[in-house]
């Protein structure tokens, strides 16, 4: 999964991740049942703090976009 972050946009990084994953799910790029990278793998790939990645996943789960 390819995510693009803009650290200068003023939009929190975790919300950028949430938005892009929602878009991927809506367009079919991310299929039902497809596994997302682990928090650790996502954080390493995007070079962000693990807590930021975990916050994005928690937000997606609370919105019912993904299940744990």
Distances (CA, A) of 3 to 24, 32, 43: 10, 18, 11
Count the Cβ atoms, other than its own, within 10 Å of residue 18: 20
Report the pLDDT averaged over residues 22-40: 95
**Separation of CA 17 from chain center:** 4
**At residue 1, does pLDDT exceed 80?**
no
Count the Cβ atoms, other than its own, within 10 Å of residue 4: 7
What is the predicted pLDDT for the residue at 39? Answer: 98
Report the pLDDT averaged over residues 28-43: 96
pLDDT band at 41 (very low <50, low <70, confident <90, very high): very high
Sequence-ordered list of residues with C-beta below 8 angstroms from that of 33, at least 6 positions apart, any chain = none
**At residue 5, does pLDDT exceed 80?**
yes
């Amino acid at each position: 999964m390819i995510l693009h972050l803009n650290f200068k946009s003023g939009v929190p990084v975790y919300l950028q991740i949430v938005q892009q994953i929602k878009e991927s799910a809506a367009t079919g790029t991310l299929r039902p049942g497809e596994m997302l990278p682990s928090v650790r793998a996502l954080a390493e790939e995007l070079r962000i703090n693990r807590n930021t990645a975990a916050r994005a996943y928690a937000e997606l789960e609370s919105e019912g976009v993904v299940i744990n």
